[in-house]
Structure 1
Amino acid sequence: MKLIPKTNRSRLMLLLLIAALSILAYFTWKQVATPEANAGDEAAAQQLWTCPMHPQIIRSEPGFCPICHMELVLLRTPHEHDPETGEPVFTDGADPEMQAVDEGAGAGAPDPGTRNDRLLVRVEPSVIQRIGLTTEIVVKRTIAREIRAVAHVDFNETAQTIVNSRVSGWVEQLYVNYTGQLVTRGQPLAGIYSPELVSTQQEYLDLHRRLDEARAREASPVAIEDLEQLLAAARRRLALWQISEAQIRAIEQRGQVSRLLTLYSPYAGSVVEKHVVQGARITEGMDLFRIVDLSTVWAYAHIPEKDIPFVRQGLAVRLIATQLAGEEYSGQVSFIFPFIDSDSRDLKIRVSVPNPGFRLKPGMFATVVFRNQLPGEHLVIPSTAVIRTGTRDVTFVYLGNGAFEPREVTVGVDDGEGNFQIIEGLSEGEAVVVSGQFLLDSESRIQEAIRSLQSRGASGSAAGGHQH
């Protein structure tokens, strides 16, 4: 076997050593450089851009706002963590001291289907003072509301009557000469001459005289009974023609007929309709007068839908007549209409009001005022604590240590004093933000947009992944 010279053998060993060191250096560089490159790529992929004027616009690359065409600005930088919890945070470039913390994020977060997806907005104490964030406690108490509504006065429909004639004849006397005339109960309205009525009265007097004569001569019981039946029939005809018992007794006492049938007013009130003049010929059943009792009037008011829970039948009401130097009258809700006006979207109610002296006039405008409270106690917060977006109502709950949680709530009635009833979403004793919450709302909207974009990106990555 031929031996390799010593000089050549040394050169070969040197070459092998250089090759081994090169391979070692290559793998060492790959292990160090690759994570940095991957981290840089991941950071670039995680960068988001937003519009300063429209924070709901979130893009994964630079560009321009589709609404105002402003250039998008960098929204967040990667690898930031909350200093207290270590959770990832996303810093709004507009205010680096305000952070939105996603409680569902982080390496140790559970499966997205089971994690707590609450959004928390953390604010530095200096920022809380600078933007004027203030809170109030959610309390539980009764809710009362004073309601004022414009009303118009009208007639009491149950205190109206039509005076008509039940006989044909002529109006020989007219005691009420004009529409609107005030009358008292029992006041004469008109005197009517009716030949038929005069004839029936005469028939009644004749039968009454014959019955007296039959009893005087002790006629047979059958004859007396026949006369009594005929007299009763004549008496009924007179009653049907509006001849009162007092008038019939007066005819008996005088022994002569009354030429005119006098019509009397059944109510104290106003003659709102008059259809006859003196000397006019009238027919049976003809309407002569319409009289309205004004001792009680009705007032109709329209209540907005939001105030309907405070209205109930029998509720005491004050009616203020501004045209009468602010005179006040007491009444009550006598009827609530069973439907909402489709045009005005309000509820019509009727108030019954005593009207001494007939001072309240039908057609007059007035103001009705009443106060009522909902049964039981309810959660109440200031109305300024609620952000109404049109699709939902949101309030921010202060959790302490500068953390605020946006909470969707169900709002009930407004008490008219700057407070809302809360039906769902809050608990008694929690603190809600009542001023400065719009800045928190803007930050939470940015975080929601980020989450939505990440969700779409995660879905796309899962769909595009390769299978082994």
Structure 2
Amino acid sequence: MKPYATWTSVLSALVRPFRAGLSSALWLGLMFALLVPTRLLAEKQLYTCGMHPQIVRDEPGNCPICSMKLQPMRMAQAEPRSLDAPEAPRKIKFYKSTMLPGEISKKPGKDSMGMEMVPVYEDAAQGANPLPADAITVDPQTIQEMNFKTSLVERGPAIRTLRTVGIVAYDERGLSVVTTRFDGWIDKLDVDATWTSVKAGQTFFEIYSPELYNAELNYLVALRAEPDASGPLTHAALQRLRLLDVSEAFIAEIARTGQARRDYPFPAPATGVVTLKNIVVGQMVRAGEPLFHVADLSRVWVNAQLYERDLMGVAQGQAVSVRMTYGMNTEHPGTIEQILPQVENDTRSAIARIVLTNPRGMLRPGMFAEVRIPVHLATSALLVPNSAVVRSGEENVAFVALPGGVFEPRKVVLGGEVDGGRDIVLSGLKAGERVVTSGEFMLDSESQLQEAIQKMLKPTPETAVPSVPAKP
């Protein structure tokens, strides 16, 4: 029964003798004047100290203990108890210090600062609605001051982009070695420096070889001796020139002119750049000796490093993106051609070989590149922002925002980081829940404090706190 209802009955009994002599209008006015102050008195604003909740005043002021300004109490807290309802005994859970939040005791007494410790009742700690034992309740003003922010736990595709470093290298299938099939002397060098660009068929050098000159003469003699160019002597002489790797253009020229040439102009076997030069003018060379190395740079390799933990998500034929460290708009699409079956002992990484086209020759061997490989982990996964997870090294905790300023710490199991600054959640959360993304470290400190208190207050037969009726 409400207090004002009791006072209504009392007033009705007192004024009943005078009711007969009053008009209806005067009677209603009298009752309104008497009841309104009573109702206002029942809902009168009270003030309390945030550090000493046992201090309650009916007007603003300062706390007599710590001199802090008294704060207004919510009306739900200030509503008086029914006068007819008996006061039920309340069980004391523990005693706490009003100045040192971490200092508690199972028995009444003074804290380390010499101030009386106040009781904490079980019903006050648990509230009207059942909450998780480790839940934290924060009032709206504190939530605003601490700038708490939340985010929704959602389901979506889990894509993680691997970022690694790569080095541009030659495509080994575009390497050529220039050598001769006969001994001779270098009379002239048309390509006289490394890194010179050459085209297929371009003259590399001119070489004099007695063996080659003798083969030219035999071919011319066979042409004059046999009227038919397909005769056995002519055919044998022609085959000898071809076995010495003489070009068809050179053979056709000496057949047309009828003159043997002393020096043979050696043509470039492929288009590319000279990466190695081993001869100078006047040098004698032997058959099979490497004279030049030529590399075709129209296609290059990028050797990207992959750590062991990332190998499972990468496959041959996968599309990648390669970005160079110079210039603008230098991103090149490529394909993983092969993942080498060896892990380097020094770096504990494997090599993913990526093939890139290089039509303008901008990719040079030895250059560094940034390689991005998109890895599709799952089509639908539970995702949570990285900032929502408090990582302690041994476990991961997220704080779920519940109605009424309540936050529940949850242990979560993560499945790895994905794009967009999010983590895959394997267990601990559900889709649609809200988690704290800003201010969660403050909640974590409070959660650890409450956990320590609960461990200290674990009941034992010797230290159990008896039920103590609350003082009126």
- Within 5 Å, give how 1:377-456 maps onto structure 2: 377-450=380-453
2:330 match: secondary structure = strand
CA distance in 1, matches of 2:453, 2:269: 80
What is the distance in 1 between the residues matched to 2:319 and 2:462?
63
In the aligned structure 2, how far is the partner of 1:444 from the partner of 1:347? 44
- Aligned counterpart, 1:133: 148
State the partner residue of 1:184.
Answer: 199
> What one-letter code is carried by the residue in structure 2 that aligns with 1:243?
V
Give the aligned partner of residue 270 of structure 1. 273
- 1:76-112: CA deviations, max 9, x gaps? 956523453587xxxxxxxxxxxx953xxxxxxxxxx
Q: 1:35 corresponds to which residue?
A: none
Equivalent position amino acid for 1:411 in 2:
L
Give, in angstroms, the shift of residue 438 of structure 1. 1.9
Q: Partners in 2 of 1:402 and 1:317 — Cα distance?
A: 46
Pairs within 5 Å for 1:50-449: 79-81=121-123, 82-85=125-128, 102=133, 119-144=134-159, 151-207=166-222, 210=225, 212=226, 228=232, 234-302=237-305, 313-317=317-321, 319-320=323-324, 322=326, 325-326=327-328, 328=330, 330-335=332-337, 336-337=339-340, 349-365=352-368, 367=370, 374-449=377-452
Distance 2:248 2:117 in 1: 98
User: What amino acid does structure 2 have at the position aligned with 1:380?
Assistant: L
**8 Å CA contact retained: 1:173, 1:190:** yes
- Cα separation, 2, equivalents of 1:460 and 1:253: 120
Could you tell me how far 1:253 is from its partner in structure 2?
A: 4.0
8 Å CA contact 1:164–1:285 kept in 2: the answer is yes
- State whether residues 153 and 430 of structure 2, in contact with CA within 8 Å, keep that contact through their aligned partners in structure 1: yes
User: How far 1:232 moved relative to its partner?
Assistant: 5.2
Any idea what the Cα deviations from partners look like across 1:390-429, whole Å, max 9, x if unmatched? 1221111234344333222233443454322323332211
Conserved? CA contact 2:153–2:434, under 8 Å: yes
- Counterpart for residue 46 of structure 2: none
Say whether the 8 Å CA contact 2:170–2:365 is kept in structure 1.
Answer: yes
| Structure 2 CA distance for partners of 1:326 and 1:78, relative to 1, 3 Å | closer
Q: Which amino acid aligns with 2:193?
A: Y
1:190 maps to amino acid:
F
Cα deviation for residue 183 of structure 1 reads 1.0
Change beyond 3 A, Cα 1:459–1:158 = farther
1:388 Cα deviation from its structure 2 partner: 0.8
Please say which of residues 431-440 and 441-450 is displaced more in the overlay. 441-450
The one-character-per-residue Cα deviations of 1:31-82 (angstroms, maximum 9, x if unpaired) are: xxxxxxxxxxx989x7799x979x7x999999xxxxxxx99x9999565234
SS at match of 2:398: strand
Q: How much does 1:370 deviate?
A: 6.8
- Identity over aligned residues, as a percent? 32
Contact 2:96–2:120 (CA under 8 A) maintained in structure 1: no
- Inter-partner Cα distance in structure 2 for 1:340 and 1:52: 57
Change (3 A) 1:345 1:380: farther
CA RMSD of aligned residues (A): 4.5
Deviation at 1:288, TM superposition (A): 0.5
What is the CA-CA distance between 1:290 and the residue it aligns to? 0.8
Deviates more, 1:146-155 or 1:384-393: 146-155
More deviation, 425-434/198-207:
198-207
Secondary structure of 1:358's counterpart equals: coil
Tell me the TM-score normalized by structure 2. 0.62
AA of the residue aligned to 2:173: T
Q: Aligned letter for 1:376?
A: T
Aligned partners of 1:305, 1:430: CA distance in 2, in Å? 35
Contact 2:161 2:375 in 1 (8 A): yes
Distance 1:340 1:286, change over 3 A: closer
Offset of residue 376 of structure 1: 1.3
Matched residue of 1:331: which SS? strand
What are the superposed Cα offsets for residues 431-466 of structure 1, whole Å, 9 maximum, x if unpaired? Answer: 1111222232223323444555567x76999xxxxx
Aligned with 2:135: secondary structure?
A: strand
5+ residue gaps, structure 1, are: 1-41, 63-69, 88-99, 103-118, 217-223, 462-468
What is the CA distance between 1:153 and its match in structure 2? 3.7
| TM-score calculated relative to the size of structure 1 | 0.63
- After superposing the two structures, state which structure 1 stretch, 406-415 or 190-199, moved more: 406-415
For the structure 1 residues 368 and 159, does the alpha-carbon distance in structure 2 shift closer, same or farther, using more than 3 Å as the test? Answer: same
> Structure 1 pair 256/315, CA: closer, same or farther in 2 (3 Å)?
same
> Secondary structure of the equivalent of 1:201?
helix
CA distance, structure 1, for counterparts of residue 288 and residue 106 of structure 2 = 88
Contact 2:132 2:408 in 1 (8 A): no
Tell me the distance in 1 between the aligned counterparts of 2:219 and 2:116: 111
CA distance in 1 between partners of 2:302 and 2:119 (Å)? 67
> Using the alignment, how far apart are the partners of 1:459 and 1:189 within structure 2?
100
Alpha-carbon distance in structure 2 between the residues aligned to 1:276 and 1:199: 24
Range that drifts further, 380-389 or 156-165? 156-165
Q: Secondary structure at the match of 1:177?
A: coil
Give the superposition deviation at 1:386.
Answer: 0.5
Partner residue of 1:30?
Answer: none
With over 3 angstroms needed to count, the CA separation of the structure-2 counterparts of 1:315 and 1:58, relative to structure 1, is: farther
Per-residue CA deviations over 1:160-199 (Å, capped at 9, x if unaligned) read 1111122111112211111121111211101222212223
**CA 1:321 to 1:132, structure 2 compared with 1: closer, same or farther past 3 Å?**
closer
Q: Gaps (5+ residues) in structure 2? A: 1-90, 464-472
